[in-house]
A and B are shown apart, each in its own frame.
Chain A
């Protein structure tokens, strides 16, 4: 694996409002520093996160994705994070089969009290994705499919 020092990966984080978003707020309040590459998209719950969004993100040029919510049993909505976890377990092998590099998806739990964990998660993910280099393969396939009209909405 060649580490590319000039390469600034584009990473999108899909996080829940109650735990990880608040945890990331705490990172700010605690003035802990982390890389600028990650941008947060806020959801009410990880249970809301549609995996098609992850695919769409990669198709449009994201180099990595973080999904993070409340710890098991701590979900604000009782069970949303369990649904998300099950979805991740089920989709992981399918994504792998489809040719998506699942090393580019970082799945984690960050609670509202874990500001430093969020900083570590971001920094580690950025380092990992930087080592993996830009993610062009899936994008190429997606472009091809779009051009050939396979992706036309019915």
Chain B
């Protein structure tokens, strides 16, 4: 008979407030096969773990069940404790008494009974558990960073500086991301490009970083330490090994009226273009959608201009494969356009801008060289209105969350405007001012007190055009809901930060979870903010949720440390949750009949054909065998198997049946 130890945790009061933990321990103690059952305030604490270790030795336990929080939280903790006491760690299971019981039910008899059932299930499961050995796999010490904004740049540099190789993939023709578009940064008002561009150059010159711009991830296969990434190098139509970046082709290109992505649509660019003067790499690509040659088959002016013959018309997309051990996702965010807001004119008023467009106006490298001018007529606006929370914190618009950066950049915009237009008048409509962060509140106070920005607490109901002015109608809720009407020359919307386009598809390629707004989901909201649920894939920056530059940089360095820690191992220990095909003594060999249904079910090609041969070398049978290096333990093959010959360690049929039966047989 088995000797199982059961340890019920109070989790402070998190469990004991609604579950009668003493009764759980008492009743489980009376179960068949349970040798020892106790309850304790904090099972995960050092004394708690010591209880487990001592009991394993004292009672010679052959199984341990810890009734505490979610196994997703502390299973490794308790398994390690068991291993330290000499018990195979896979003979330890957890019953989820907190997330699945005490936190979701009121204090009652039923709640305690459910807790007893949950522990019972695990006791029955553990009786069927078998000692397992963890699987060791080698680690490819090379990282893939997706996204070349400040998050990706920081993560790449940090990993590269630990001595490991980095592959940085960027979708656009240049790295730099949103930060390169910003004018000045809060709360110090230093110029964004001045602090970013040296880092961009460092990336390009770093011996450990291989940079692929104008490239996208095609697919990712494999698992932690052993990923295979297919990367699509989009055809640039320019040979970068010969191109000198002189820019003559850009000057001569006749297609000049394409809205510039870098200037958020306010300026124009040519069909062969470098996104911005400080781009890295500073060499052009041809935008095939707008190029005359690709559209109509004639032009080729750039080819005639190019002194070194770098134009490659017939170049096609290329797909390369890179082997990497870890992935950092740093794909950033996007902002909603003005067309998202019917109440603010659906994007039809030229002088209603997004915050990002205003950044371009205020930037020295922007379309107006840093002068604040109206896109409609080029006049300097004398009255300007900033509307915070445009879309954010608005469940009716499907964006209930706070975009976090808008309060600060709106204060910055108003300040920059006041610095540039001395006789100008600026008004900010806001819901609340959220200025949590070092020197942030002081910054907003400075905008209000020193730069005399007029802050009005209230929503703007409508913006419409009348006689060349934008009429802004809002309320001042601090003055008892008094109507406010401003005749403005320009309106800037702090539009909501949203997940970058394509993030859902990327998440599906990588098998990472994402939230309802398509931001990538972290493994734990507090304790694992840079990890994803998929081992070996980490998050950096605004692809997880909107965040400002300091936070992004901190997170990117955090992700880099996780990668470096992973690469400090030569081998990784993987959980032995893999499928196995049973083997029996001759003449049966196995109950496997060799139908290979499992092979059709397996997404990892982990099923191999094993030939069983007689002494004379003649083939007796062909049966399935699982390659444990490839198997990821989904168990789809188990449900497919007609002869029940394949089973998955840790979730065997026997274990699962035992769990189900414990719930019903009483």
Do the two shown chains form a genuine complex with each other? yes
> How far, in whole Å, are A29 and B578 apart by their CA atoms in the complex?
30
Task: Spot the interface stretch: A20-28, A101-109, A144-152.
Answer: A20-28
Q: Is the CB of A31 within 8 A of B634?
A: no
Residue in chain B with minimal CB distance to A61 = B664
Q: Please judge, given known A-B contacts A28-B100, A33-B104, A47-B636, whether A18 and B521 are in contact too, CB under 8 Å.
A: no
Range, interface on chain B: 35 or more
Q: Is the CB of A48 within 8 A of B634?
A: yes
> What are 18 inter-chain pairs, A to B, with CB distance below 8 A?
A10-B663, A12-B663, A18-B533, A24-B99, A25-B96, A33-B104, A36-B105, A41-B656, A44-B634, A44-B635, A48-B634, A60-B660, A74-B513, A75-B511, A79-B636, A83-B639, A113-B513, A119-B104
Contact with B along A31-72 (1 / 0, CB 8 A): 111101001111111011111010011001110000000000
> How far, in whole Å, are A60 and B521 apart by their CA atoms in the complex?
39
- At the interface, yes or no: A92 with Cβ under 8 Å from chain B? no
- At the interface, yes or no: A87 with Cβ under 8 Å from chain B? yes
Q: Is the CB of B533 within 8 A of A43?
A: no
Range, interface on chain A: 35 or more
B516 — which chain A residues lie within 8 A by C-beta? 113-114
B570 — which chain A residues lie within 8 A by C-beta? none
A111 — which chain B residues lie within 8 A by C-beta? 513
Residue in chain B with minimal CB distance to A31 = B103
A residues with a Cβ closer than 8 A to B are 8, 10, 12, 17-19, 21-22, 24-25, 27-29, 31-34, 36, 39-45, 47-51, 53, 56-57, 60-62, 73-80, 83-84, 87, 111-114, 119
Task: Give the residue among B121, B514, B636, B648 with the most A Cβ atoms within 10 A.
Answer: B636
> How far, in whole Å, are A40 and B632 apart by their CA atoms in the complex?
22
Q: Please judge, given known A-B contacts A39-B117, A75-B511, A78-B603, whether A31 and B104 are in contact too, CB under 8 Å.
A: yes
> How far, in whole Å, are A36 and B101 apart by their CA atoms in the complex?
8
> How far, in whole Å, are A41 and B635 apart by their CA atoms in the complex?
15
Q: Please judge, given known A-B contacts A43-B635, A44-B648, A87-B639, whether A36 and B533 are in contact too, CB under 8 Å.
A: no
Q: Is the CB of A80 within 8 A of B634?
A: yes
> How far, in whole Å, are A87 and B640 apart by their CA atoms in the complex?
10
Q: Is the CB of B98 within 8 A of A19?
A: no
A19 in complex: contacting residue of B108, B513, B638, B657, CB < 8 Å: B513
> How far, in whole Å, are A40 and B656 apart by their CA atoms in the complex?
11
Within 8 A of A (CB), among B105-142: 105-106, 108, 110-111, 113-114, 117-118, 121
> How far, in whole Å, are A10 and B98 apart by their CA atoms in the complex?
20
A34 in complex: contacting residue of B104, B634, B659, CB < 8 Å: B104
Known: A50-B638, A53-B656. 10 other contacts (CB 8 A): A22-B513, A24-B99, A25-B100, A40-B100, A42-B651, A45-B635, A48-B636, A83-B639, A113-B521, A114-B516
